[in-house]
Amino acid sequence: MVMHRWQGVLLVLAGSICYGVLSTLTKLAYAQGFGTAAVVGSQVWFGVCGLLVLSHSHLRRLFFVSTPVRLQLLFGGALSGLTGIFYYLSLRSLSATDAVLVLFQFTWMGMLWEWGWRKKKPSLRQAAGLVLVLAGTWLASGGARGGLDYAGVALALVAAACYALFLDCNGHVGLEAPSAVRTLWMAAGTAALTYVVFPPVFLIDDQLVGGLWLWGLGLGVFGVTLPYYLFSRGVPLVGTAVASLLGAVELPAVVVVARVVLGEAMSPPQLGGLAVLLTGVWLSALKK
Predicted pLDDT of residue 261 = 75
CA distance 203 to 48: 15
Q: For residues 43 and 115, which has the higher predicted lDDT (pLDDT)?
A: 43
Q: In this predicted structure, what is the pLDDT of residue 105?
A: 79
Amino acid 217: pLDDT: 95
Q: What is the pLDDT of residue 143?
A: 60
For residue 141, name the pLDDT band (cuts at 50, 70, 90): low
Range of the domain at 168: 2-285
Q: Residue 264's pLDDT is what? A: 64
The alpha carbon dihedral of 12, 13, 19, 23 has a sign of positive
Q: Which of 44-48, 223-227, 228-232, 252-256 has the least mean pLDDT?
A: 252-256
Q: Tally the domains of the chain.
A: 1
User: Looking at 5-9, 194-198, 209-213, 226-230, which range is the least confident one?
Assistant: 5-9
Confidence of residue 288 (pLDDT cuts 50, 70, 90): very low
What's the CA gap between 97 and 128, in Å, rounded? 24
Share the mean pLDDT of the chain: 83
The pLDDT, as a whole number, for residue 44 is 94
Residue of 41 and 128 predicted with greater confidence: 41
Is residue 284 within 8 Å of residue 126, measured between CB atoms? yes
Compute the average pLDDT of residues 142-155: 73
Please give the DSSP secondary-structure letter assigned to residue 207: T
- Looking at residues 63-78, what average pLDDT do you find? 89
Measured CA to CA, the distance from residue 115 to residue 65 in angstroms comes to 28
